[in-house]
Amino acid sequence: MAPLFKLSIYTPGETIFDAQVSSLCIPEESGYLGVLAHHAPLISTLKPGKISFKDEKGILKTIPLAGKGIFEIANNRVIILLD
């Protein structure tokens, strides 16, 4: 099993996802960014596209992103804030 990290996805009104994942692919301003456990710290903006990740059971999940947002990667955790 691949190492896990915490993924939290929030909008102003709700928590969309908050659990451990093994991989993440997000639409960053300069293209899609792949994230695995122990990724280097990073803060950047998101553009419209798809957020996809594999949960702790290895099941691929996708969340469409119509607007923009920001994300932070630090301490084996990814926080995504969507508008």
Domain positions in the chain are 5-82
d(CA 51, CA 35): 11
- In percent, the amount of the chain with pLDDT more than 90 equals 94
The burial of 68, by beta-carbon neighbours within 10 Å (0-12 exposed, 13-18 middle, 19 or more buried), is given as middle
**Using one digit for the tens of pLDDT, what is the confidence trace for 36-66?**
999 999 999 999 999 999 999 999 999 999 9
Cα torsion for 41, 65, 81, 17, to the nearest 10°?
-90
Homologous superfamily of domain range 5-82: F0F1 ATP synthase delta/epsilon subunit, N-terminal (2.60.15.10)
> Whole-prediction pTM value?
0.94
pLDDT classification of 2: cutoffs 50, 70, 90: confident
Does the pLDDT of residue 13 top 70, yes or no? Answer: yes
